[in-house]
Structure 1
């Protein structure tokens, strides 16, 4: 399957199209079909669509070049069609600035790890201090998010697979806070979202590490024990009298799903509070990247596709679309192939440029630190495919540091 974005003007009878709207918004039987006559083509042209997707493998003829002479952009398989990228004033890619931003993000992420470790470690002996420090971690960040003007994306942070609970909690908190900011929540509400993300799995502190961090397949008894962590989390927070009730609810209910298939209560739909839905979605995304037990991890763009497929059953569709908007079609950590055959790793994305992330290209015989980053807005190449880690050789895996965990921090 070769999915290519096309403008309405490029369409001809014989093109196999995927319409980026629901079935209620067009008169055709399916969302994907081959245009068989001029009447169908005219209907599509009146749907008020700027872009749609064409499967060139199933089409009878190739796409005509864009009128302005630029190449069409390849979309990620199974991902929802992104909005067209807006035209903005381009001052050029300042790689030195972006390198500084990456280094600052790595440092800030490491400091957040240290602060959260210290705060959670103090809960037993100095609970008031531990809770206050946990809240302070997101309070400072929420204020900084409120002061930042314009769109904000995420950097890829590669860290060793240590302190898995802390890494997972930070990932969920940071991505959820970015979603809250995009929803134009108040700084106080963004802070609350971040706090809920930090403590949603706090009940795992009562689960033995040989179960919570087990690499092999869990036994039924071990899985049942692990599934108790939401109840343990609620009990811990109630005992500490910590935070608002709606934040405690997140620790208890973040594994509930809209169709009632979740746990521990099996509630569904409107019974699940909005904050729980938000954290539950981001929690699931990060679990796909770093699954427990013997489950195989998926790549970030595969995780996006899976979430999109689940968006009408288990997760709120508007929240899934927002997450995809912020992470991009190719989220940080995605391995991609460019139109000239080169391999690259997506390093940073921004919501206004879902198809043009900043990437680190593979250069044989060089260290990643010495290779220049590329901004695909200014490069003539496009992304033609995403890759799985197992498709790379050992030298390429080492170059991209694939043995480490995929974490995120804000691209200030």
Structure 2
């Protein structure tokens, strides 16, 4: 989009402009803005800029009388102008502090996530040789997560950075499905004991795939009938593996066996339907299907979390539990972490975390080419002020915007409890 250089005294109401100074050198939340009042003009003129960028195509006509600005010597007006500028600056600094606090929370959560992921890798490798030790480690990990989820008044679901290593996909998937299953169980009012069982079952639900050849697991073209039948055996292989440990909960073992059963009887391995399927297995089945839509074997076909939820409800209605699907959508929010969005001020952002108490007002990282990516504003949206107007596909954005926001190929989640 073409722009013109104009002097600050040429600015008029409705003009879409961009300030050429750094983000910290002016009191506005963004270097790009549309002029809505005389006060904004006066503040810009007080910045000592030689010029601003003017975007005619983005500007709008505002019906008003000829703008009459008081002389610079008008003390009362200057006092009002200084107060307005101070308020803008104060609001901006508040948002900067909020962004820093969010990043500290995120770093703390990232550290906890990596610790949990390392535990998952370790216990999965132990399962074949020392199953008792593996189950004990899993029990401790899931126990801590359960306490966190059960005791918090509200939960913040964070987007975590993922790995590009294919061999680690199983670990990310296991931890993802486990965390989301426990959150879903809490939202469905399950007891703490059942939340923990859901977590353990979900953590090991695909462990049988360790016995499936990697060329089948990584195959991006349709499986042959023999290959598909072998893959389906992972539910049996999984239950056989955990049966080596007498400390593995029986109800959690049922999750391993039944997480691919459908309520219409079209699933496997036994073609169970409706109430024949254990409630916790129905719950894990929904979360598993969601995460598989985000991370299929052919990575190029992966859906964003927002579109995965939409597709899940449309395509799996009548196959997966409707109550569980609706609650998952409600829990993840209209804009799950990892979703690219357009804000009502036309800025592009990525949802970073969602608070269970304010699902429509998530924390977002805003694209601003004038701010280094590591210092990109991460702000909490506000009702009636800064809000999401629509969801955007990565393919609809310029390459530099996608690189800046870096939507994850591996969408991983971790939960933080808020007392």
Equivalents in 1 of 2:270, 2:324: separation in Å? 22
Match of 2:108 in 1: 104
Q: Distance in 2 between matches of 1:223 and 1:386?
A: 35
- Counterpart of 1:39? none
Shift of 1:309: 2.4
1:151 equivalent to 2:154? Answer yes
Per the alignment, residue 396 of structure 1 pairs with: 401
Larger radius of gyration: 2
Q: Give CA deviations for 1:182-239 in whole Å, capped at 9, x if unaligned.
A: 2333322221111011001110110122221334443443333222211111222223
User: Partner residue of 1:127?
Assistant: 131
Q: Judging changes above 3 Å, is the alpha-carbon distance between structure 1 residues 304 and 207 closer, same or farther for their aligned structure 2 residues?
A: same
SS in structure 1 at match of 2:148: helix
Alignment partner for residue 275 of structure 2, among 254, 270, 283?
270
Deviation at 1:380, TM superposition (A): 1.9
Classify the secondary structure of the residue corresponding to 1:134. Answer: helix
Q: Runs in 1 of length 4+ with deviation above 6 angstroms?
A: none
- Per the alignment, residue 260 of structure 1 pairs with 265
Write the distance in 1 (CA, Å) between the matches of 2:100 and 2:369: 23
Q: Which of residues 245, 250, 255 in structure 1 aligns to 2:255?
A: 250
1:397 Cα deviation (Å)?
Answer: 1.9
Aligned residues: 321
Going from structure 1 to structure 2, the CA distance change for 1:262 and 1:174 (only over 3 Å counts) comes to same
> Deviation of residue 394 (structure 1)?
2.1
Residues 213-252 of structure 1 aligned to structure 2 (within 5 Å): 213-252=218-257
Partner Cα distance (2:272, 2:312) in 1 = 20
CA distance in structure 2 between the aligned counterparts of 1:387 and 1:217, rounded to whole angstroms: 29
Q: State the match for 1:410 in structure 2.
A: 415
Q: Offset of 1:310 from its aligned partner?
A: 4.6
Distance between the aligned counterparts of 2:300 and 2:409, measured in 1?
17
Runs of 5+ consecutive residues of structure 1 not aligned to the other structure? 1-90
Which of 107, 113, 118 lines up with 2:117 in the alignment?
A: 113
Of Structure 1 and Structure 2, the greater helix share is in 2
| 3-state DSSP of counterpart to 1:298 | coil
Could you tell me which residue of structure 2 aligns to residue 177 of structure 1? 182
What is the rounded CA distance, in whole Å, between the counterparts of 1:145 and 1:353 in structure 2?
17
Tell me the alpha carbon deviations over residues 288-340 of structure 1, each in whole angstroms, 9 at most, x when there is no partner: 10012477111111112123325640122221121112100010001111122
Query: Structure 1 pair 275/401, CA: closer, same or farther in 2 (3 Å)?
Result: same
SS in 2 for 1:239: coil
Tell me whether 1:381 sits opposite 2:386 in the alignment.
yes
Deviation at 1:132, TM superposition (A): 0.7
2 CA distance for matches of 1:251 and 1:200? 4
Query: What residue ranges of structure 2 are gaps of 5+ in the alignment?
Result: 1-93
CA 1:213–1:283: 2 relative to 1, 3 Å: same
1:302-321 paired onto structure 2 within 5 Å = 302-310=307-315, 312-321=317-326
Q: Deviations over 1:129-158 (max 9, x none)?
A: 11111111101121222332x221300012
3-state SS of 2:386 partner: coil
The TM-score, its normalising length taken from structure 2, stands at 0.72
> Taking structure 1 as the reference length, what is the TM-score of the superposition?
0.73
- The 2-side partners of 1:354 and 1:250 are apart by 29
Give the drift of 1:248. Answer: 0.9
- Mapped to 1, the partners of 2:125 and 2:216 lie a distance apart of 20
CA distance in 2, matches of 1:164, 1:318: 28
SS across alignment from 1:314? coil
Please give the secondary structure, in 1, of the residue aligned with 2:262. coil
Q: Report the secondary structure of 1:359's partner residue.
A: strand
